[in-house]
Amino acid sequence: MKTRSGRTTADTSRQDQDDDGSERTATMNVPITSSAILPPWVKDISHASLVQWKKKRHEYEDAISARCSASGEDISKALMTVKSTFDHALLKMLCKYDWEVPFESITEERILTEIDKIVNNVKNGSIVNIDALFDDELRMDLHESDVHARVPVQSDAKIRSGVS
């Protein structure tokens, strides 16, 4: 494989020698790849999509960090901002109606804070009363030795379907 220095990876795996016979230390060469590291885009602000976006964004930042450490590039210049990867119309709408901030003055930190608020809250803002659900619907046969068989099938089906 050809590297940025123009050599092949086989050439760079061994140490080079100068014309006078003295050895030079081999430098680490990063193979040239044709694929770019692209950031994930925010196209939807649903809880599930923002959770996935945060995972992909973290992977993107790790990949850029690794590339920059190998190439000596400045990571702040290589990373695309969250604002630039946000759907433009969606961000404008959120700034105007939800966050009440002018679109031009929205900061990266504010966008990340608002995304964290959505991700860190329980979906739809409510938690089901698990204790009441278990008291009303869950039936167990504690005489059964097999743990998976303790919950009768009909009671399990009722819980999954939400039927009382």
What would the pLDDT profile of 73-95 be if each residue is shown by its tens digit?
Answer: 899 999 999 999 999 999 999 99
Average pLDDT score over residue span 16-40: 60
- Would you state the pLDDT for residue 13? 44
Calculate ∠ Cα 72-76-81, nearest 5°.
Answer: 140
Question: Does the pLDDT value for residue 32 go beyond 80?
Answer: no
The pair of three-digit structure tokens given for residue 65, joined into one six-digit string: 């960090």
Average pLDDT score over residue span 14-33: 51
- Would you state the pLDDT for residue 3? 54
Considering the domain architecture, whether residues 47 and 30 belong to the same structural domain is answered as no
Question: When comparing pLDDT for 23 and 100, which is higher?
Answer: 100
Considering the domain architecture, whether residues 155 and 91 belong to the same structural domain is answered as no
Considering the domain architecture, whether residues 48 and 116 belong to the same structural domain is answered as yes
Radius of gyration, CA atoms only, the chain? 27
Place 164 in a pLDDT band, splitting at 50, 70 and 90: very low
| 88-97: Cβ within 8 A, 24+ apart | 90/42, 90/43, 90/44, 90/45, 91/42, 94/45
Considering the domain architecture, whether residues 54 and 21 belong to the same structural domain is answered as no
- Our count of domains for the chain comes to 3
Considering the domain architecture, whether residues 71 and 51 belong to the same structural domain is answered as yes
Residue corresponding to tokens 């759907």: 87
Considering the domain architecture, whether residues 42 and 119 belong to the same structural domain is answered as yes
Considering the domain architecture, whether residues 46 and 121 belong to the same structural domain is answered as yes
Phi, psi for 11 (deg, rounded to 5): -70, -35
Considering the domain architecture, whether residues 114 and 48 belong to the same structural domain is answered as yes
Considering the domain architecture, whether residues 79 and 138 belong to the same structural domain is answered as no
d(CA 91, CA 99): 10
Place 135 in a pLDDT band, splitting at 50, 70 and 90: confident
pLDDT tens digits, 39-62? 999 999 999 899 999 999 999 999
Place 139 in a pLDDT band, splitting at 50, 70 and 90: confident
Considering the domain architecture, whether residues 87 and 14 belong to the same structural domain is answered as no
d(CA 114, CA 108): 10
Predicted model pTM: 0.57
Considering the domain architecture, whether residues 99 and 111 belong to the same structural domain is answered as yes
Mean per-residue pLDDT of the chain: 77
Q: Provide the residue range defining the domain that includes 85.
A: 37-125
The pair of three-digit structure tokens given for residue 23, joined into one six-digit string: 């050895």
- Would you state the pLDDT for residue 74? 92
Considering the domain architecture, whether residues 111 and 42 belong to the same structural domain is answered as yes
